[in-house]
Amino acid sequence: MSSTASKAPAFSICVYCGSRSGVSPAYAEVAQRVGQWIGDHGGQLVYGGGNNGLMGLVAQSAAQAGARVVGIIPKALQTLENTRHACTELHVVDNMHERKRMMAERADAFIALPGGIGTFEEFFEVWTWRQLGYHDKPIGLLNTNGYYNGLIDFAQHSVGQGFLSEKQLDLVRFGTEPEEMLQALVQAAGFVPPAEFKNI
Ligand code: AMP
C-alpha cells in the first residue's frame, strides 16, 4: 500500500468512463492524467471496479500516484469487466442499481470521460438527479478530442427547442483539460486540494 492510501482522502471523485480504450491515444492519456491528478492531490477515486479500457487505466494511474481506489462492481459483471482485486476497497454488489447508488454516495463530485452506453447512462443519471435536487454535487464532462461535440451540440439544440433550460445545462461543466476540470470540481464541492499532496 502506498504512503497516502492509508490516510483519510482529501476528497472523493467518481469517474465514469469507457470499459474500452477508444481508437485515439488521447483517451488513454486523459484517463491516466485524471488518475494521476487524484493521487497527486491526496484524493480518492470511486469507480466501477473493472480493469478494462479507460476504467482500468484510471484506477491503475490513481493507485500508482497514491490514491485510495474504491471499486464497486455488480457480481454478475465480475468476469466480463475483469475485476480489479487490487482496489483499496472493492465492493461486489448485487446489481447495477446498487453499484450506481453506492458510487454516487461515496463521491464528492463526478467526472465523465469518453465512454460508451454505460458511461452515458451514469452521466445522465447524476445530471438528472442533480436537476431534481437528489444531490448537489458538481458534475463535469471531459470533451477529450472533441468526443462529446455531438452531445454538447444536441444539449444546446434541446435548449433552443425548449426542452432543456439554460439552468439545467449549466449544472454540468464542460472542458477539455483534466487538471483544470478536476480542480474546479473539487473546489465547487467545497474542498481545497493540497497543491502537491505527494510531496508534503
Ligand atoms: P461503457 O461506457 O459502455 O464502456 O461502460 C462503462 C461502465 O458503465 C461499465 O462498467 C458498465 O458496466 C457501466 N454501466 C452502468 N450502467 C450501465 C448500463 N445501464 N448499461 C451498460 N453499462 C452500464
Give the pLDDT score at 6: 57
* CA 163 – ligand 1 centroid, Å: 26
Low-confidence ranges of the chain (pLDDT < 70): 1-6, 194-200
Give residue 65's Cα distance to chain centre. 16
* Residue 195 placed within a domain: no
- Radius of gyration of the chain measured on its C-alpha atoms: 16
Does residue 191 sit within a domain? no
| pLDDT tens-digit series, residues 53-110 | 999 999 999 999 999 999 999 999 999 999 999 999 999 999 999 999 999 999 999 9
- Tell me what pLDDT residue 197 has: 52
Q: Judge whether 69 lies within some domain.
A: yes
Q: In this predicted structure, what is the pLDDT of residue 1?
A: 40
- If DSSP codes are grouped into helix, strand and coil, which group holds residue 64? helix
The residues lining ligand 1, judged by C-beta closer than 6 Å to any ligand atom, are: 18-20, 48, 50, 77, 81, 96, 115-119, 121-122
Residue at 194 is within a domain: no
Domain total for the chain? 1
Domain that holds residue 170: 3-186
Beta carbons within 8 Å of 195's beta carbon, 6+ residues apart: 41
CATH code where residue 160 lies? 3.40.50.450
Domain presence at residue 164:
yes
Within-domain flag for 178: yes
Q: Does 29 reside within a domain?
A: yes
